[in-house]
Amino acid sequence: MGSLSSQTKIFIFFCLVLLPSHYAYSTQALSHQSFNLETSIEVTPVPTFKLVGTAKMKWLWFEIYEAKVLTPTGTYELNKWPLSLDLLYKKTISAEQLIQSTIDEWERQNIDYRVEWVSRLRDIWPDIAPQDQLILYVDEEGISHFFYNKRFIGSLSEPLFSSAFTAIWLSKNTLKPAQRNQLIGIKP
């Protein structure tokens, strides 16, 4: 760069600094530990996260939601964070129905859950309409952050919650083992 003018060097420097800023911005919410109600995320897989698997959850002939699991490596390891669980809903579901389904599955799997978790979920989870998206992002420390239609809605700071919540879909004892296998990348 010795023969380039100082203006050209400055221009190249700013291009190099600003060019990756789009990618840094798209991963900012996923790598930064403090979220607020103004935090939003891109719903497409960010460059550092790769799709592990996807599955459609159905009840009888009704599609309830489509689920995706993403990790930095594109592989799933039990209780290894970070991880993103993305749920795109196809049906209307009240927040109370979501919470009751969560409790029912924890009880069915004999997962020891805390009433504080249920209370916190009641505070942050909204009613769901078709095409609404609920994303769980579990950070490196195992803290769970929820996003609703790209907006941060709240966190649960207990790593035990992250394991208990993801077990609904990802444990060997899940209600839907075929969908679990799809989500964690096991081909039938």
Q: Which residues does 87 contact at the CB level (< 8 Å), separation at least 6?
A: 65, 66, 67, 133, 134, 135, 136
* Region of residue 107 (phi > 0: left; psi between -120 and 50: alpha; otherwise: beta): alpha
Q: Whole-prediction pTM value?
A: 0.76
- CATH among 3.90.1170.30, 2.30.40.10, 3.50.70.10, 3.30.43.10 for 6-183: 3.50.70.10
Residue 32 pLDDT exceeds 90? no
**pLDDT score for 83:** 95
Structure tokens at 37: 């109600």
Answer whether 68's CB lies under 8 Å from 54's CB. yes
For 29-141, list the strands marked E by DSSP. 50-59, 62-71, 83-89, 133-138
Side-chain half-sphere of 54: how many Cα atoms within 13 Å?
8
Residue 104 pLDDT exceeds 50? yes
Candidate ranges 29-33, 46-50, 62-66; pick with highest mean pLDDT:
62-66
176: amino acid identity, one letter = K
Q: How many residues does the chain have?
A: 188
**pLDDT score for 120:** 97
**pLDDT score for 25:** 28
Q: Is 32 helix (H, G, I), strand (E, B) or coil?
A: coil
Mean residue pLDDT across the chain? 81
- Counting residues of the chain whose pLDDT is more than 70, the rounded percentage is 74
Please compute the mean of the pLDDT values over residues 64-82 and round it to a whole number: 95
**pLDDT score for 41:** 57
138: amino acid identity, one letter = V
Q: How confident is the model at residue 22 (pLDDT cuts 50, 70, 90)?
A: very low
**pLDDT score for 88:** 97
Answer whether 89's CB lies under 8 Å from 129's CB. yes
CA distance 150 to 35: 12
**Residue-range domain boundaries for the chain:** 6-183
Report the Cα 4 to chain-centroid distance in Å: 46
Please compute the mean of the pLDDT values over residues 63-79 and round it to a whole number: 94
Name residue, tokens 């077990």: 167
**pLDDT score for 33:** 52
Query: Per mean pLDDT, which range of 2-11, 37-46, 71-80 is the poorest?
Result: 2-11
Answer whether 86's CB lies under 8 Å from 70's CB. yes
Model pLDDT for residues 125-134, shown as the tens digit of each residue: 999 999 999 9
CA distance 92 to 81: 30
Regarding predicted confidence, which is higher, 44 or 96?
A: 96
139: amino acid identity, one letter = D
